Amino acid sequence: MKVDIDALEELNLLTRDGTERANSALTDMTAASTAIGTTKILLVNHEDIIDRIDDGGYEVVRFDIEGKLSGTALLLFDQPATEAVVEALVPGEASEGMASAGLQEMANIMMGSFTTDWGDHLGAGLSMTAPTYLDDPDADSLKLDPTGPETDSTLVFQSSITWRSGDGRIDVYLAPDRSALDPVFAETERDEREPSEGEAKLDGLVEPSEDDESAAAAADAEPTVEPATGDTTVDDGGESATDSAGDDPFDGNAEGAFDTSDDTGGFGTDGSVGEGANAFDPDEDDDLFGFEDGADGTDSIQLEKLSVFSDLTKEGTEAAARRVTQMTGIETSTEIAGITFTPIDDIAPQREDEDYVGTTVEFEGTPSGSLVILFDKASAKNIAEEMMPVDPNDCDGLTGMHESAIEELGNIMTSGFIDGWANVLETGVEHNPPEYVGDMNMAFIEIITEQLGPFQTHAFTIESTLQTDDVAFTCEIHALPDEADLGAALEALAVERKDQTGADPGDLF
C-alpha cells in the first residue's frame, strides 16, 4: 500500500485539531492551564508502548472505535494529571472506584471531542464503545493491529497535552486497524484533489470571457462538495460527543495549528486542481517552485515496507544498546524506537528545556542522511566516566577525556544502528567517524535546516532512546534520512531479508 505524503501531512494536522478539541474539553472541566505538545504519526512496536506505560506510571483508558475508521484509541494519564482530573471531578476524598469513574468520564468527553473532526473528514459518523480502564495493559488488552503480516509495527496518530506548570501529561493515541488504513488514506487523497469551498466562491466572482465560456460552464456543472456532519456517539447509550461550535476552542472558526483558513489546505495551499487546459495540476509533471516533481523528496511511500524499516530501527537500537553494554559493562535498555512523521518546526524545540552534547555524522548510500546522538550533560558525564580507565578527579565539567569517550561511544552506537540497514538492503551505507559537538541544541537545528530545506513541512525521523538502571544515563538517537533516498531504499527493500541485520564489528572499522 502506497501512502501519499501530502495525505500524511493532512492527517497529522487533523490529529492536532482533534487534540485541540480534547484539550478544550479538559480545560472546561478542570480549569487547568495546559498546552498541546508535538503531534506526530508514529510507526512503533506495541511492546514499546507497553514499556512507556509501565515506565511512566500511566493510567490507561481504552476505546474501541467503530465505523469507517475502526481501531483503538488510548488516553494515557500520568500521575499528576490523574490527580488533577480526579480532584476536579470528584472533590474531597475519593474512593478508588470513584476516582476511576471520574477519570473514565473525563476520558470519554475528551475522546468524543477528539474524534469529531475525524468523523467529519471521513464523511461518516464514528462510534466508540464505553471507556475501558486498563489496570495492567498488555498486548491483548491494547488491541493494536500491525500494519501488515510481515511487521510488528503499528501506525499510531499521537499527540499530548501538558500542564503549563510542568506537572501533568496526557498522551493521546489513535491506532487504526489494518483494514481501515486504505479507506482513511483514500478519503484524504480524494479530499486533496477536490476544489475547496473557498475556491468555488472565488471562481464565482470572476466573469468568464467569451473564450472561457465552455470552461466556465464545465466548472459550474461540478457539484459543490459539502463537508460531512458525522456525529461521534457512544454505543452504550451514554453521552454523545458534541459536534457543535460550542465545543470548538476556536468557536467554529479553527484555522488549525499552522494559521490556515477554511479556504486553504492544511499547510497554506488550497490543494485544489484547476479545470482549464493550462491549469496547474501538482499530480502531473509540472515543476514545483522551480524543481521537478519529486526532485527534493518523494510523493508517496510504501507503508508496509516503511513498517518493516521501523522494525529494523528497533533492532538497530537494540544492537547499539548491546554494544554500550559490551563497552561499559552496564546493562542498557531501549525505549520507544520507531519511525515518526513530524512537523519540522516541532523536531528541535522538543529539546529546549536542557543543554545537550553529543555526536553527529552524515551517512551516504541507500538511504543517505544524518544521524545525531544526544546526551544531556549529566548523562554524558556519567557514561563517559564509566568508560574511563582512570578516575577523572571529580571535575565539574566535561574534559577532553570525557569528549573522547563520548565520541568513541557515538562511533560504536552509530555502527550498531546503521549497519543492519546495509545488510538487509544489500547496499552500502557509509559513514565517517562521528564528531563530538558541545552545543547539540544549535547543531540539531542547523542539521534540520540544511538537510530538509525550505519546501518541506514534515520529515521522517527515526527516534530511539537508550537508558540504564545502574547509572544515571539516557541518550537519544535521531536519524534524519533524505526523503527521496528513503523512498528508494523502501522500493529496494526485500521484506524476506528483514532478519538479516547482523554485522561483524570487525568489518566496521
199-224: pLDDT as tens digits: 444 444 444 444 444 444 444 444 44
Burial of 459 (0-12, 13-18, 19+ CB in 10 A): buried
Sign of CA dihedral 404, 407, 412, 413: positive
Of 100-104, 138-142, 471-475, 495-499, the one with minimum mean pLDDT is 495-499
Contacts of 274 (CB under 8 A, 6+ apart): 280, 281
**Residue 97 CB partners (closer than 8 Å, separation 6+):** none
- The string of pLDDT tens digits covering residues 19-57 is 999 999 999 999 999 999 989 999 988 888 888 888 888
- Domains of the chain (ranges; CATH) run 2-189 (3.40.1550.10), 195-223 (no CATH), 301-507 (3.40.1550.10)
> Where does the pLDDT of residue 158 fall: very low under 50, low under 70, confident under 90, or very high at 90 and above?
very high
Residue 110 pLDDT level (bands cut at 50, 70, 90): very high
| Mean pLDDT value across residues 329-334 | 85
Least confident of 218-222, 238-242, 373-377, 424-428: 238-242
Name, of 61-70, 89-98, 451-460, the range with top average pLDDT: 61-70
Is the pTM higher than 0.85?
A: no
Strand 40-45 and strand 356-365: the pairing is unpaired
CB 53 within 8 A of CB 46: no
Instruction: Tell me the pLDDT band of 193, cut-offs 50, 70 and 90.
Output: low
Cα distance between residue 77 and residue 394, in whole Å: 39
- What does pLDDT average to over the chain? 75
Q: How confident is the model at residue 257 (pLDDT cuts 50, 70, 90)?
A: very low
Q: Is the pLDDT higher at 189 or at 134?
A: 134
Q: What is the structure's pLDDT at 84?
A: 94
pLDDT at 194: 57
pLDDT in tens, 82-108: 999 999 998 888 788 899 999 999 999
Cα angle: 38, vertex 40, 43; to 5 degrees? 140
pLDDT of residue 470: 83
The residue with greater pLDDT, 295 or 143, is 143
Residue 238 has pLDDT above 50, yes or no: no
Residue 163 φ/ψ region, left for φ over 0, alpha for ψ in the -120 to 50 degree band, beta for the rest:
beta
